[in-house]
Amino acid sequence: MWQALANGYAAEICARQGFDWLLLDVEHSPNTLQTLLAQAQAIAPFPVEVIARVPFGEPVALKQYLDMGLHTLLVPMVDTAEHARAMVRACRYPPHGIRGVSSATSRGANFGSDANYLHEANDKVTLIVQIESTTGLANIAEIAAVEGVDALFIGPSDLAASMGHLGQPTHPAVVEAIATAKAAIDGAGKPAGIFAVNPEHARQSIAAGFRFVSVGTDIGLLISGAQKVLGEVRGQG
């Protein structure tokens, strides 16, 4: 479930519903680090995986999220293997990367009480890169082969836009491109994920072998719930 309301209450409510994972989206939602933290804290008691989508693929953003204890990151708009390698380095302490060190003040390291954190942190990270452009598609095999890229996630809306089909993520050409991308990810032996644009698309994606599939957004749930109750009361439902 995609958390776009940027709100700890909404995240807690969704965390109680039994989804496998929640994605805290900062790329397209009005989040600050503080609202992101509030959501992370709200859902921490629940058995749900948390993925955080950084607003852009720059090392500083990744460092702040990791320090906050958000160890599973989705990086949007990764178009090249070089960018993917830079994201891997951003997630790792030297000598394997460039992540800055401040474990005593970081939630990820239990505020310094996790004595092994510095030595185990690189292994705690799950880095997911998002393929959502024709350039990313052209380079997908090379990106998928990057060591430290743990999974790849398809963004159908941006992919459609990049292909000249803005607003048509289910255009046949986009569907075909997604199948090609999925085959390349499979070829690298890595898990493929996708943003499903509706429940039917989610079912089809799971049947096609996508391993992690969004099934909706908190905003969508609120809108459909509001429309349902209005329809029922006004007799249009």
Question: Which residue numbers are catalytic?
Answer: 28
Task: Compute the CA torsion angle 180, 181, 185, 186 (nearest 10 deg).
Answer: -30
137, 160 in Cβ contact below 8 A? Answer: no
Binding mask 128-147 for ligand 3PY (x = CB under 6 A): ----x---------------
Query: Please, where are the H alpha helices in the chain?
Result: 8-15, 33-43, 59-67, 81-90, 117-124, 134-138, 140-144, 156-162, 172-187, 199-207, 218-234
Which of 80, 122, 157, 170 touches ligand 3PY (CB under 6 A)? Answer: 157
155 binds ligand 3PY per the rule CB under 6 A: yes
Choose among 187, 145, 179, 189: nearest CA to 159: 179
Rounded least distance, CB 76 to ligand 3PY, Å? 6
- Three-state secondary structure call for residue 186: helix
Within positions 181 to 220, which residues make up the interface with ligand 3PY, using CB under 6 A?
A: 195
Judged by CB under 6 A, the stretch of 64-72, 88-96, 152-160, 179-187 that binds ligand 3PY is 152-160
- Min dist CB 15 to ligand 3PY, Å, is 20
Distance CA 2, CA 220 (A): 9
Which member of 25, 67, 79, 158 binds Mg ion (CB under 5 A)? 158
The span of 40-48, 93-101, 102-110, 150-158 binding ligand 3PY (CB under 6 A) equals 150-158
| Nearest in space to 215 (alpha carbons), one of 38, 6, 17 | 17
Residues 65 to 94: which contact ligand 3PY by CB under 6 A? 76
Binding range to Mg ion, per CB under 5 A, among 15-23, 80-88, 149-157, 226-234: 149-157
Render the burial of 181-198: b for 16+ CB within 10 Å, e for the rest. Answer: bbebbeebebbbbbbbbe
Position among 69, 97, 136, 156 found at the interface with ligand 3PY (CB under 6 A): 156
- CA-CA distance, 116 to 76, in Å (whole number)? 30
Binding to Mg ion (CB under 5 A): which residues in 56-75?
none
Exposed (0-12), middle (13-18) or buried (19+): which is 93, by Cβ within 10 Å? middle
Provide, rounded to whole angstroms, the least separation between the CB of residue 122 and ligand 3PY.
26
Q: Minimum distance from CB of 193 to ligand 3PY (Å)?
A: 10
* Choices 12-20, 90-98, 149-157, 223-231 (CB under 6 A): range interacting with ligand 3PY: 149-157
Which one of residues 67, 79, 158, 218 is an interface residue with ligand 3PY (CB under 6 A)? 158
H or E element that contains 215: none
